[in-house]
Amino acid sequence: AAEKWGKINLRKFRFLVIYGDPTQSEQKGAAKNKKGSRKAVWLVGKLGETVYALKGFIGKATSREFIEWYYALYQYVAGRVPVYAYIENNSLQDPFYEQVFKKHVADVRREKGISFTISPDAEKKTDKAVRIEANLEPLARNGNLVLNEDEKGDPNMQELVNEFKFFTLALKYPADGIDTIEGALRIIESKENQLHPLASDVVSGGRNPERYRR
């Protein structure tokens, strides 16, 4: 789907979500380096039916750098709106999260003097490509996925655009960034359902956030 850009006022959001997709690889490299495992973290918001990809990072990075990306996005928001942060943490990832990521979170929190919590998302997920196609492609196709115009020149945002452009179910091109958008959207819709269970069901046309769970 063709990308849609827009100017975004963070204060319009009730809350934002930072969602990260980690790998255990400690390799470093720019977003444009497609070979090998890449990490991704993205800041996402939702107004009505429109999802906004605000700012993020994609690329090979150490676990420490990955955690620093969260703090960079948190500082980018600068208190203008509440922020929830999550890290994908399935049963296979959990030992690495407990042994490695938690230590980096504590270290960065102490060094920056910022009390900021990154919660593990242990929810079981269906196939990555199928989730992206089912939950993001319709949004993009209908013009309900907006990219932050202020980040248009950022290489991470350009890489996100490439991921959408070259996405197929075969995942011949990486989809790390758009996978974090999908993860953030799932968290957002779950929280919307908790805040306004009846209203959110009407707004979503009866879509049930439970559809993500298996």
Residue recorded with tokens 């990072």: 57
Q: How far apart are the first and last CA of the chain?
A: 27
- Candidates 154, 157, 184, 171; CA nearest to 45 is 184
pLDDT at 203: 42
The encoded tokens of residue 85 equal 């942060």
49-108 residue pLDDT tens: 999 999 999 999 998 999 999 999 999 999 999 999 999 886 566 667 777 788 888 888
**DSSP track, 38-88:** -EEEEEEEEETTEEEEEEEEEE---HHHHHHHHHHHHHHHTTSS-EEEEEE
Which has the closest alpha carbon to 3: 129, 163, 179?
Answer: 163
Q: What is the pLDDT of residues 97-107, one digit of tens each?
A: 777 788 888 88
Question: For the chain, give me the number of helices (H) and strands (E)?
Answer: 8, 7
* pLDDT recorded at residue 100: 78
pLDDT in tens, 162-197: 999 999 999 999 999 999 999 999 999 999 988 876
pTM over 0.75: yes
The candidate with the shortest Cα–Cα distance to 72, out of 154, 144, 188, 164, is 154
pLDDT value at position 92? 60
Q: What confidence category does residue 126 fall into, taking pLDDT thresholds of 50, 70 and 90?
A: confident
